Amino acid sequence: MRSDGILGSKDAEERSKWLKRKEIWLVVLGVILHAVYMLSIFDIYFKTPIVHGVDLVTPRFTAPAKRLVLLVADGLRADKFYEPDSEGNYRAPFLRSIIKTQGRWGVSHARPPTESRPGHVAIIAGFYEDPSAVTKGWKANPVEFDSVFNRSQHTISFGSPDIVPIFCGALQHSTWDSYPHEFEDFATDASFLDMWSLDQFRSLLNRSNEDSKLKELLQMDNLVVFLHLLGCDSNGHAHRPFSSIYLNNVKVVDHVAESVYNLVEDYFKDNQTAYIFTADHGMSDKGSHGDGHPSNTDTPLVAWGAGVKYPRPVSSSNHSDRGFRFVDDHVHDSPTPTEWGLHGIERVDVNQADIAPLMSTLLGLPCPVNSVGSLPLDYINMSKAEEVEAVLANTKEILNQFLRKSYIKQSHSLYFKPFKPLSHYSSMLGKIEDLILSTEYDAAMDLSQNLRSLALQGLHYFQTYDWLMLMSVITFGYVGWMLYLVLHVLQSYTSLPGNIFGVEQEVQRNHRRKIYLYGCVVTVMLSLLLLLDHSPPLYHMYMIMTSFSWVQIFSEYQFINSLWKHLSGRKVNIVIKLLATTAISVFILEFLVNSFTERKLYTVCFLIAGVAASVYLLKSIPWKSGIPIYVWIACWFLSVFTLMPAEIPDNNQLVVGSGAVIIIIGIAARWLDLHAGRRKYWLSMCNREKSPKISSLFYTQVILVALSSVMVYLSTTHRTEKQELLALHQLVNWSIAGFSMVLPLFSENSLLSRLTSIFLGFAPPFLLLSIGYEAVFYAALALVLMAWILFENTLLNLNIVNKSSDPIRNVTNNPIILGHGNRPLQLSDVRIPLVFMVLFNIAFFGTGNFASIASFEISSVYRFITIFSPFLMAALLIFKLFIPFMLVICAFSAITKLNKVPRLGCYFLVILFSDVMTIHFFFLVRNKGSWMEIGNSISHFGIMSAQVVFVLLLFALTNVYTKDLHCNSAVPSARKAN
């Protein structure tokens, strides 16, 4: 006699309702848990370095300069600035003459994320903003941190509406202006934006001759002039940094620098102005930025004017810190490329944050209170005594930050662990003061720099103070969630014998009450400890989520005990099969983990998979069916794409040709749907009733794919002729993309018909968002998904023939829970979520590295919009990346219906496997080495953590297309074959 299950005497309908509520609760819990744990990386690695209440350090030296001009060429690469053009002429003649005759030069090393806001914060405020600040977009409060502008008497600024207001919008002592957003049109040459900033500054100087208040303002000490030059960034995105438009913009930037220099010198005539020219980030060859590639982190730096040293020849004794590494992991004194023509002049590289203390020192201002930059002495023209005072002021500012963080942590902690190397910092400061009084400047300089280095280490110590505790809590939380997920799948979606669930209801209920009570007591105690420790609210959330997961596991003690007895009583071969399945699953998941850093692994994977699947099928079904050969060819075709460069080259003809390939695939699928329905391996996938209305729908979709290919050609050709995107083209492109995605809802609900319609429906928007070989990838992925379906369909038919029975015989102990006609999950069904994971990840990496910020190809959206709109552009890019995922999930849904397995049960297995990868990535997160490696490891963890959310969203979205998907019964043909 079968037990009623885990709820004892409740009837099936009540049990069904209870378990459905539990499913909803479990999904909500999973989303919340992953969202909370994903935030942990910000507390561990991306904790904001800003600390309030830090005391200012007043400089004890005379300001070398009365005013400072800061020119930032947004998106200017160092190599494109310094190297000559194809004719041997240098693109920045004025600034090169400055380098050779009256200034200093080098490379400023930026730290990822190499975006505009973090770059400008590093230059102007002197610290590396936590990367989470990028998520604030351009709307952040400009007074969240101190900056050189805040310390100035007055700041004058002109430039982009995305940058200037961040630093000057709420600054009372500032005069600024920016051009409208509409000026940032990627379809034009954006160098006029730089000329706009120059014209505004020239106009200001001219107005001052008639405005006495303005003239008085300009004559102030500690005046800062900031011109933001956006041209190189816009032209780099639109035309690539090796294009003539971008390279010509370098000349424009040089012209702006020369004009500003002449205007200032002619206006003031006092030689009391210091000039700094640099960039916030570079630009990759494909016109993007964001990661830690040298093309993004290497930016030019030229300084000249009052207080700046003159150039000097290269000398081996100039630097003694050859082992020093910059924030982008470049070694100090890296060789200067010969083609730059500057190898005879000393090059002084700096970290980007070093520019802020340099500007403060030139103006005689206190360093910004959160600055972590080290004053580059090789740029400063001061006496030895003043140099020591400048470095000491720089050191004291960093030390004050350390002392403030130490005080805050000590006042909030029950058990405080101090940073021991700085326990005697006061005696070190006293010794430095004594050395200065005795004019032993070299010794004082060495000690000051050593103290500064220790203070920076101390800041890092407190930045990662809670690292071990948080890592432990979150690791236990993930393990608990995964174990609870396994228990739920075993209870709800398998056909384990009834005696496993035969626990007396009252006993089980009392046991759970005790567990919940003990769990609440432990959780409250842990929360109180965190509260006494003044821990942030998120720390409480981490602890509560972890505690809650393990309480749920302990509450299933009776089931776990019964399950253990059941397994221990089974035959050895069953246990071996279970262990083998687990080992294979772990191997595949580890393969996927490694594929995040090596895309070519997918090539090997699909080469092997194609051969293995084909050989297996050839042993089971006749080769004349064409299925084994098709599976082989499809897998090998897809394997090619991960050998191609992640930086997708523009190829308009390939995109247009891909439209023809997609149409051919659609026609072939339609022919099979009409003519292959009587073959036993196609019976369950084909439609038995044909409708003229449905045929016209198919032809409409084919026409839309063809029309999108034509629009790809027309839109791109028009834009490459340096013309703006026509409103008609834009309207047609939007209309095609939107209309085509609705049509699959009206297609036939047979498996092959609906999937073909979905494939054709999402092809037009994908083509319109493609620039190269990724359009062919779309077709190749669809072919492999069809191969997967054919493989599963063949296995289904073979199982039916072998068993000579109804495929849903003894289907379920609970048909209401599993769904009508569904069967329980078996151990062999693990292959379905595993294959899904592989195909889902190939959709990630088939055409690039989705885990890298710089992999977003912004030119993909130019057929829909060219006016700069970061949120709309980002939405279009993400939508394009999600289209292949939607195809994979639609195929996954079709296979669950084909095999009559519960879709939600398979979804929980997908999340389980994703979390195995997530916890691996959690341990792979790095806080040492190059920032590119650190950033990539963080992004890998973030992607896998978010997968539970966006996979769920995509499941819900694709369910609109697949909920009425119908698979014909394969039983009659199978019995006939038998």
Q: According to the model, what pLDDT value does residue 12 have?
A: 57
Give the pLDDT mean for 656-682.
82
Confidence category of residue 447, pLDDT binned at 50, 70, 90: very high
If one compares 808 and 469, the residue with the highest pLDDT of the two is: 469
Give the pLDDT mean for 856-872.
71
Q: Which residues, including other chains, have CB under 8 Å from residue 278's CB and lie 6 or more apart?
A: 70, 71, 72, 73, 108, 123, 299, 300, 301, 302, 352, 355
Residue the block writes with tokens 């800062």 = 224
If one compares 399 and 111, the residue with the highest pLDDT of the two is: 399
Q: According to the model, what pLDDT value does residue 139 have?
A: 46
Q: According to the model, what pLDDT value does residue 4 have?
A: 41
What's the distance, Cα to Cα, between the start and end of the chain in Å? 34
DSSP class of 201: H
- Is the bond into 497 cis (omega within 30 degrees of 0)? no
Confidence category of residue 812, pLDDT binned at 50, 70, 90: very low
Give the pLDDT mean for 650-667.
89
The token pair at 918 is 């997530």
If one compares 4 and 803, the residue with the highest pLDDT of the two is: 803
The per-residue pLDDT for range 275-286, each reduced to its tens digit, is 999 999 999 998
Q: Which residues of 936-951 are buried (b: 16+ CB within 10 A; e: fewer)?
A: bbbbbbbbbbebbeeb
Distances in whole angstroms, Cα of residue 266 to Cα of each of 97, 496, 648:
19, 89, 49
Confidence category of residue 852, pLDDT binned at 50, 70, 90: very low
If one compares 152 and 535, the residue with the highest pLDDT of the two is: 152
Q: Which residues, including other chains, have CB under 8 Å from residue 892's CB and lie 6 or more apart?
A: 832, 836, 906
Q: According to the model, what pLDDT value does residue 932 have?
A: 58
**pTM flag (> 0.85):** no
Q: According to the model, what pLDDT value does residue 354 have?
A: 97
Lowest mean pLDDT: which of 452-456, 606-610, 612-616, 722-726? 722-726
Give the pLDDT mean for 325-344.
84
Count of other CB atoms within 10 angstroms of residue 70: 22
Q: According to the model, what pLDDT value does residue 290 have?
A: 79
Closest by Cα among 307, 317, 279 to 379: 307
In this model, does residue 1 exceed pLDDT 70? Answer: no
Give the pLDDT mean for 46-54.
81
Confidence category of residue 925, pLDDT binned at 50, 70, 90: confident
Alpha-carbon span 451 to 457, nearest angstrom: 10
Closest by Cα among 391, 400, 397, 375 to 442: 391
| Rounded percentage of the chain residues whose pLDDT exceeds 90 | 47
In this model, does residue 688 exceed pLDDT 60? Answer: no
Confidence category of residue 241, pLDDT binned at 50, 70, 90: very high
Give the pLDDT mean for 313-334.
69
Confidence category of residue 259, pLDDT binned at 50, 70, 90: very high
**275 φ/ψ angles, rounded to the nearest 5 degrees:** -125, 135
Identify which of 330-344, 672-686, 932-946 has the greatest average pLDDT.
330-344
In this model, does residue 391 exceed pLDDT 90? Answer: yes
**Contact between residue 433 and residue 397 where contact means Cβ atoms under 8 Å apart:** no
In this model, does residue 9 exceed pLDDT 90? Answer: no
Q: According to the model, what pLDDT value does residue 286 have?
A: 83
Mean pLDDT across the chain: 84
Q: According to the model, what pLDDT value does residue 720 have?
A: 66
With H, G, I as helix, E, B as strand and everything else as coil, classify residue 535.
coil
If one compares 696 and 206, the residue with the highest pLDDT of the two is: 206
**Contact between residue 849 and residue 646 where contact means Cβ atoms under 8 Å apart:** yes
Give the pLDDT mean for 804-816.
41
The number of CA neighbours under 13 Å toward the Cβ of 274 is 29
In this model, does residue 741 exceed pLDDT 60? Answer: yes
Confidence category of residue 135, pLDDT binned at 50, 70, 90: very low
Q: What is the helix, strand, coil percentage profile of the chain, to 5?
A: 65, 5, 30
DSSP class of 374: P
Q: According to the model, what pLDDT value does residue 877 have?
A: 81
Please report which helix (H) or strand (E) contains residue 661, including its range.
helix 652-675
Question: What are the structural domains of the chain?
Answer: 67-381 (3.40.720.10), 649-802+817-963 (no CATH)
Maximum distance among all alpha carbons in the chain?
A: 105
Alpha-carbon span 110 to 122, nearest angstrom: 8
Count of other CB atoms within 10 angstroms of residue 814: 19
Alpha-carbon span 713 to 728, nearest angstrom: 14
Alpha-carbon span 558 to 614, nearest angstrom: 45
In this model, does residue 973 exceed pLDDT 50? Answer: no
Q: According to the model, what pLDDT value does residue 838 have?
A: 94
Closest by Cα among 155, 278, 131 to 225: 155
Chain-centre distance for alpha carbon 304: 38
Please report which helix (H) or strand (E) contains residue 178, including its range.
strand 174-178
If one compares 355 and 618, the residue with the highest pLDDT of the two is: 355
The per-residue pLDDT for range 708-726, each reduced to its tens digit, is 999 888 877 766 665 666 7
If one compares 969 and 190, the residue with the highest pLDDT of the two is: 190
Confidence category of residue 819, pLDDT binned at 50, 70, 90: low
Lowest mean pLDDT: which of 613-627, 788-802, 918-932? 918-932
Confidence category of residue 7, pLDDT binned at 50, 70, 90: very low
In this model, does residue 183 exceed pLDDT 50? Answer: yes
Identify which of 345-354, 411-420, 730-739 has the greatest average pLDDT.
345-354
Q: According to the model, what pLDDT value does residue 560 have?
A: 81
The per-residue pLDDT for range 487-519, each reduced to its tens digit, is 888 888 887 644 444 444 555 667 778 888 888
Alpha-carbon span 52 to 43, nearest angstrom: 18
The per-residue pLDDT for range 560-601, each reduced to its tens digit, is 887 887 777 677 788 888 889 999 999 999 999 998 888 889
The per-residue pLDDT for range 202-233, each reduced to its tens digit, is 999 999 999 999 999 999 999 999 999 999 99
**232 φ/ψ angles, rounded to the nearest 5 degrees:** -60, -40
State the Rg of the chain over Cα.
33
In this model, does residue 28 exceed pLDDT 90? Answer: no
In this model, does residue 931 exceed pLDDT 60? Answer: no
Give the pLDDT mean for 99-125.
91
Confidence category of residue 110, pLDDT binned at 50, 70, 90: very high
Confidence category of residue 960, pLDDT binned at 50, 70, 90: confident
Count of other CB atoms within 10 angstroms of residue 132: 15
Q: According to the model, what pLDDT value does residue 693 have?
A: 60
